[in-house]
Amino acid sequence: MTASPLIEFIAREHPAFVHIPLGLVAVLPLAMLASFHPRQGRHLVATSFFIAAIGWLASTMALFSGLIWGRQINLIGPSGFLPVVANEKQVLQRILQIHILAALAGFIVGGICVLLLWRIWRRDFSIGSVGSEHRHHAGRRFWERGVGTPTLLVGLIWVGCWGFSGKLGGIMVFGNEATNRAAAEADKAKRNDVEAELPIRALDYASLEPAEAGPARSKAHGDRWRRVWVTASGIDDYKAGKQLPPGAYAVMSTFSDEKGKPSTEPGPLYMKETKADGSTAFAFYWARVPEALRKEFGNQDNVYWRSPDPKLATCLGCHEKGGTPAK
């Protein structure tokens, strides 16, 4: 997705924009409290209403920019509104979920607060009713003056929701123990997974035992010319047509066809492995997808899929239970 520079700016500056509504809502309870003053009530109810209204309106921009930002950095799906938390290790996604829910709760409470303030301002202090100030306060108890205690409470809940949301936002931007630990763990997992970037063992296929003396045609794998290579630990089982033992793997190097002969144009590498726990894993690697075929590969010029990538479901369709399918 290529966004306009303006959208780009709105998204990126989310951590800055949020301070406008946050700042306004932080001073709102002060203005509301001050409205309990016996003589300044009228002005401070109006002030409270304006602070609340502007803060609430400004927050729509903050919500919008947060959504766009979340989508741009792929924490939220392209048409989603909340991040999907797939497992409990996704600390950032989980914090973001609560961050968004707290922000939305604040938005709803804020809307109610603005409405209440507007009604109080119109009812008790609207222009034209001269002397209303006096009527309003005469005979009222302290907590019934100004914006009134219930509205003050709603305002405080509003601050609470956004304060909490803001705290989580700060954690996501600057990190805390949990997010830092999750990032460190992800880093370590990647470092331990030597094939995260490239299928190193598959690329080294020529060091394995050739299972076939020369190339043969493979209808099952794009009608290419194939040659199968198997680890020494699995070659006997492979030749006997059995499933490879744990730790063993087979790589199929391929070439495209040229008038019934293997061409020099290298095709993808296919890999099938029996993991230590007996399960089967697949990999598909194509260093350079030819121009004409890129449409079939999501317009990528380079493809590297590994189990459990759903794009490898077709492999499982034929290689059920990890065995070599009958030809």
Minimum separation from the CB atom of position 57 to ligand HEC (A): 53
Q: Which of 56, 107, 270, 304 binds ligand HEC (CB under 6 A)?
A: 270
Q: Helix/strand/coil (H, E, C) string of the chain?
A: CCCCHHHHHHHHCHHHHCHHHHHHHHHHHHHHHHCCCCCCHHHHHHHHHHHHHHHHHHHHHHHHHHHHHHHHCCCCCCCCCCCCCCCCCCHHHHHHHHHHHHHHHHHHHHHHHHHHHHHHHHHHHCCCCCCHHHHHHCCCCHHHCCCCHHHHHHHHHHHHHHHHHHHHHHHHHHCCHHHHHHHHHHHHHHHHCCCCCCCHHHHCHHHCEECCCCCEEEHHHCCEEEEEEECCCCHHHHHCCCCCCCCCEEEEEEEEEECCEEEEEECCEEEEEECCCCCEEEEEEECCCCHHHHHHHCCCCCEEEECCCHHHHHHHHHCHHHCCCCC
Beta-bridge partner residues of 254: 226
282 binds ligand HEC (CB under 6 A): yes
Q: Which of 7, 220, 281, 293 binds ligand HEC (CB under 6 A)?
A: 220
Closest to ligand HEC by CB, 63 vs 250, is 250
Size of the site for ligand HEC (CB under 6 A): 21
Minimum separation from the CB atom of position 171 to ligand HEC (A): 41
Minimum separation from the CB atom of position 316 to ligand HEC (A): 8
319 binds ligand HEC (CB under 6 A): yes
Minimum separation from the CB atom of position 279 to ligand HEC (A): 14
Closest to ligand HEC by CB, 97 vs 254, is 254
303 binds ligand HEC (CB under 6 A): no
Closest to ligand HEC by CB, 145 vs 224, is 224
Minimum separation from the CB atom of position 283 to ligand HEC (A): 6
Which region among 26-34, 166-174, 183-191, 267-275 touches ligand HEC (by CB under 6 A)?
267-275
Minimum separation from the CB atom of position 239 to ligand HEC (A): 11
Closest to ligand HEC by CB, 167 vs 288, is 288
Q: Which of 228, 235, 289, 303 binds ligand HEC (CB under 6 A)?
A: 228
Phi, psi of 247 (to 5 degrees): 95, -15
Contact residues toward ligand HEC (CB under 6 A) are 218, 220-221, 226, 228, 250, 252, 270-272, 282, 284, 312, 314-315, 317-319, 324-325, 327
